[in-house]
Amino acid sequence: MRFAFSTLGVPGLAVSDVLALATAHGYHGVELRAHPEEPVHPGLGPAERADVAAEFKAAGVEVLGVAGYARVAGYARVAAPGADAPVLDEVRRLLQLAHDLGASFVRVFPGADPSVPSAESDAIAARRLGTVAEDASALGVRVLLETHDSHRTGAAAIRVLGPVGHRMAGALWDVMHTWLGGEQPAETYAALAPYLGYVQVKDIASADDTTPLPLGAGILPLSDCVEVLSRHGWDGWLCWEYEKRWYETAPPLPDLLTAGRDHLARLLNESA
């Protein structure tokens, strides 16, 4: 498995500084948070995109994915003409950005309205993902539905991904959300295995305190997650999503990166 970290942990940091951290601490890739407040986002022009891609290539670090904020089950309740257009356009912009940067994945959220029946939300999300999966295929970028918010477990995510049935529409396993949803790692893997793009790892103190902690310092079942992935021969990416952006009092991520990589490496060795 290869290791990456998300720029959510170093909000606003310049690309050159992010790459310096990745190379200094032994990470193979970076997940780029694609928000307008960050250096890399869909508003970048062609020359700026080419510059970012060149910086990553020169550093020998991969752009793992573009973490967007499109909500594929949200925004519109009815299947009226044009109701899907804002979401589809948002995802397509993310896919084009990922393609231009050489990234393999785009992250989207479910984001269903809790007032909408789950079957209807599932159908909305599946319809939209099925549509953008064709764009994803043409660009060579896979769009991943994160286990998050309204669909935080693997069991919930496959209610959407199963009906889509397209190889370019997959899943991003966020280990915190599946745990908060009451799902064991073996259950999550069994649900997501046919769709799994990569895995976001993190650690927290408790279900009531989700302030990010160094990997291994909290209660999330990281060892069980790595064990089940290793046992099934999965050889993808583990991406540390340290949510510093939302928790200003959390310790700075750069000080934790080497220890975090070493912790993941130990878990892999123990699972070998």
What is the domain partition of the chain in residue ranges?
2-271
Residues of the chain above pLDDT 90, percent: 94
pLDDT at 82: 78
Mean pLDDT of the chain: 96
Phi, psi of 6 (to 5 degrees): -95, 145
Residues of the chain above pLDDT 70, percent: 98
Q: Do residues 203 and 215 lie in contact, with contact meaning Cβ atoms separated by under 8 Å?
A: yes
Distance CA(165)–CA(20), nearest Å, equals 39
Q: Tell me which of 9-23, 76-90, 165-179, 231-245 is least confident.
A: 76-90
Phi-psi region of 161 (alpha: psi -120 to 50; beta: other; left: phi over 0): alpha
* pLDDT score of 233 more than 90: yes
Nearest to 123 by CA among 76, 91, 89, 81: 76
pLDDT at 79: 58
What residues are paired with 142 via a beta bridge? 105
pLDDT at 75: 74
pLDDT at 81: 63
Structure confidence by residue, pLDDT tens digits, 72-128: 999 755 556 678 999 999 999 999 999 999 999 999 999 999 999 999 999 999 999
CA distances from 204 to 148, 176, 241 (A): 16, 8, 11
Which residue do the tokens 């991520």 mark? 253
Structure confidence by residue, pLDDT tens digits, 25-56: 999 999 999 999 999 999 999 999 999 999 99
Neighbour tally for 18: CB within 10 Å: 24
Neighbour tally for 233: CB within 10 Å: 6
Q: Which residues contact 83 (CB under 8 A, 6 or more apart)?
A: 76
What value does the mean pLDDT take over residues 244-259?
A: 96
Q: Do residues 103 and 32 lie in contact, with contact meaning Cβ atoms separated by under 8 Å?
A: yes
pLDDT at 272: 79
Structure confidence by residue, pLDDT tens digits, 138-184: 999 999 999 999 999 999 999 999 999 999 999 999 999 999 999 99
Q: How distant is the alpha carbon of residue 178 from its chain centre?
A: 13
Neighbour tally for 243: CB within 10 Å: 18
Phi-psi region of 55 (alpha: psi -120 to 50; beta: other; left: phi over 0): alpha
pLDDT at 77: 58
Give the angle 25-2-234 at the CA atoms, nearest 5°.
155
DSSP state, residue 53: H
pLDDT at 204: 98
What is the dotted CATH code of the domain comprising 2-271?
3.20.20.150
pLDDT at 78: 55
Q: Which tokens in the block code for residue 114?
A: 């809790």
CA distances from 100 to 27, 80, 134, 184 (A): 22, 32, 17, 37
What value does the mean pLDDT take over residues 229-239?
A: 97
